[in-house]
Structure 1
Amino acid sequence: MEYVKTYTVKEEHIDVQNIMDGLYYPFYLEYCRHDYIREALGFDFEAEARAGNNMVLSEYRIRFVRSLRSGDTFQVTCSPLRDKTNKAVLHFRQTILLNNKVVVKAVFSGTCVRATGGRPFLPEELVLKLADAPEWDGEL
């Protein structure tokens, strides 16, 4: 179930050390994750928000292994993971790879909440689509 997108570092994301500023890595992870959620899972963020259902992050962990530089073309991966406690949480294991070497490892966790309030939930269609996804073991 791994989803992969390719990006190129933008010059405006480079800091004074001539490497990509740490602030931008989560953005590339988000671009890939959102595309995966929309394209592979069929969850339309805009339509769901208009219907009063918002997908939100509840937590994330990132480990930086090496840096990207201006003009680097890199891949971002995204794989879904179920929560082993069956809470209304989805986890996404993600990596940034440069020349097949790990740059960043991350896990992003999220859920859905109604705009009117109430308990977090996962839409049944997402639960069904991810029934065969592995459980998250808590590791990056």
Structure 2
Amino acid sequence: MSEDLNREGLKALYEKALSFLYTDEGPTKYSLKEYNKIENLFELKEKVVLRWLITRTTGRLKNEYGVKAITAARESRYRCKSCGYPDVRALHLDHIQGKIEDADFDCLCANCHNIKSRKYDWTGKPR
């Protein structure tokens, strides 16, 4: 009986993680503690994205990113908004207006993010 409950609990955590990753209406927070229990069930790319999002939505960077960050990532379908580059290991969440409170985000690859960052400083003003 206990094993069935444990299996059901893990299944619920897995389904929540999939919803966190892939659905626009999914949860906007997912704890690292929950993720660690089911980490072995994911492909490498999913692991990268989950850790990336968890850090920014419930982890140490939540105050700098939060819900708007996961919304931007989901809307981009984890691709660079500028060039469409699909490798999640190179994706950044760009503060569109600079690092201001309640900023909006774009999902950009490292190259596009660096190019944009050379045009504008961290306050969003042209260089």
TM-score scaled to structure 1, two decimals?
0.28
Whichever structure has more helix as a proportion of its residues is 2
* Higher-strand-fraction structure: 1
**Larger RCO (CA under 8 A, 6+ residues apart):** 1
TM-score, normalised relative to structure 2: 0.30
